Amino acid sequence: MADGITGVVRLSPEEGEKVRGAAAGLGTDNDLDGYTRPELMQARRSGDVALVHSWELVTAVDGPGTRMTMFMSGCPLRCQYCHNPDTMEMKVGTLERIEDVVKRIKRYKPVFKASGGGLTISGGEPLFQIAFARRLLKEVHDAGIHTTIDTSGYLGARLRDEDLDNIDLVLLDVKSGDEETYKKVTRRELQPTIDFGDRLNAIGKPVWIRFVVVPGLTDGPENVANVAKIVSRWKSNIERIEVLPFHNMGADKWHELGYPYTLEDTKPPKPEDVEEIREVFRKEGFVVY
């Protein structure tokens, strides 16, 4: 499996479209085009440089308060309903230095303080480029800024105990409740997510669970019941559960990339069906959105 350093990862800055953040002023120009490939490889191993897909400055999304969300390129999963398929491969984004990213985030500290917000690292998968994520979380957390990762948990074993100390909140995507459905959805295994959830529960790390309702794929009563069974073992540290309806707004990206989009004919779930699934989790005693 490509791990953000080796394998199919492409590091040359000229490869792929350069993408700037959705929030004005968040992108930066740099002189990384002068790096040789070996220099870039070393910079990535040390966490000096990462491929950042895009940025957003949002409120009431991706954690509490106003969040600066950084979407990193690279992901080991291949979720059928992914709305950012261009983050799967290490092809699209802007090469960023750790010091530039930290400086940029710190500029928003007054906003975070006023709103109770902070930094959220998303993707893709934030733990795919682990060296950079590790350094960024520490430096930002040490600066007194709230930190969150939005993760599938599949690469959770990469986080050391001291790394978890630098994470204030985990948004954990539980994409399915049984192995067969999980593999159909993601092409990967469910167990690493369960192991990571168990680890977070053991240390009392605050967690928000996310579950996406995809008609004909994840909305089966047995699958929903299995998700509820899994997350119930983490009840003591789960602050909320977000049941999110599938949407196909990412379909155009799949087409542009030439990837086969398997949910072409899938419609968003009916509001009453989503609410019925939310009730399954409420009956287990969770705060559900």
Residue 17 has what pLDDT? Answer: 31
Homologous superfamily of domain range 35-282: Aldolase class I (3.20.20.70)
Query: Rounded to an integer, what distance in angstroms lies between the CA atom of residue 70 and that of residue 139?
Result: 15
**What is this structure's pTM?**
0.88
Q: Name the more confident of 35 and 244.
A: 244
What's the average model confidence in pLDDT over 244-252? 89
In which band, very low, low, confident or very high, does the pLDDT at 60 lie, cut at 50, 70 and 90?
confident
Nearest 5°: phi and psi at 202? -65, -30
- Candidate ranges 33-42, 91-100, 229-238; pick with highest mean pLDDT: 229-238
Helices (H), 67-216: 98-106, 109-115, 130-142, 161-165, 179-186, 191-203
Non-local CB neighbours of 209 within 8 Å, separated by 6+ positions: 172, 173, 174, 231, 234, 238, 240, 241, 242
* pLDDT above 50: residue 191: yes
The average pLDDT across 91-119 equals 96
Single-letter amino acid code for the residue at 148: T
Q: What is the pLDDT of residue 30?
A: 52
Joined together, the tokens standing for residue 134 give 């590790």
pLDDT for res 19:
31
Query: Can you give the pLDDT at residue 33?
Result: 61
